[in-house]
Amino acid sequence: MAGHRTPRRGGSYLFAALNLSNWNNVAKAALLRVSAHVAFVTEHELLAAPLRAARKWMVTKGWSVFSSPAARTEAGCISGGVMITVRREIVAHPVPPQVWDSLSFDPVTRSRLTACIVHIGVVVVLAVAVYLYDSDNLSDRNVALLEHVASMRQVLALPLLVGGDFNMSRTSLQEARFPQRNDLILPQTLPTHVHRREGG
């Protein structure tokens, strides 16, 4: 889990990124321990029906939830699944359907990206959770996901806040010109990927 605190009037906002690997009691406990105002959750591995149940559980715990279900791969495995959880005291709402409709998604790609619009104090931002493909570096499908993020930001013309698991180094992201292209500020103290052996 990685986190970043942003100053705000009367306190600060805490953002966290969690890779769950799957949805189980350990994952639920991790979410309950998170003191963040906004959490970017990757790899929940929930298909549509169980994701609805998980969303209902999250709502009872004080979160608003914006999510994409996991998808079945060609090999029959369950892959991906992302969500953004926002404390209910913070104003947040979905990205308009027409914005999603303007992007070309297959189910597997859609399982690796979700977004919402969040009011961080007086600033309204586009928050995006992304889960890039592991060991792919700047492959066509990872670049396509980054381009989807760029397109959403361009359509909505909002500051961009991205969290998740990039599965690549900060250097690789810079080679893709991803931060500069999207006016994204990536805090220098945060990792872009944490290996399992390091607690990710």
Q: Report how far residue 185's alpha carbon sits from residue 193's, in angstroms, rounded to the nearest whole number.
A: 16
Q: Which structure tokens are listed for 114?
A: 């979700």
Which CATH number applies to 2-198?
3.60.10.10
Amino acid found at 111: S
What pLDDT does 103 receive? 83
Give the residue carrying structure tokens 């909002």.
Answer: 158
The pLDDT of residue 8: 47
Question: What is the pairing mode between strands 11-19 and 38-42?
Answer: parallel
Dist CA 133 CA 186 (whole Å): 20
Q: How high is the pLDDT of residue 198?
A: 37
Q: What's the CA dihedral at 69, 37, 99, 106 to 10 degrees?
A: -20
Structure tokens at 40: 């970017």
Q: Which two tokens stand for residue 21?
A: 């690997």
Alpha carbon distance 145, 165 (integer Å): 12
Read off the pTM.
0.83
How many angstroms separate the CA atoms of 25 and 3, rounded? 22
- How many Å apart are CA 177 and CA 156, to the nearest integer? 20
Q: Can you give the pLDDT at residue 83? A: 96
Residues of the chain with pLDDT under 50: 1-10, 181-182, 184-186, 194-200
Give the pLDDT score at 177: 63
Domain range annotation of the chain: 2-198
- For 94, the token pair is 């979905």
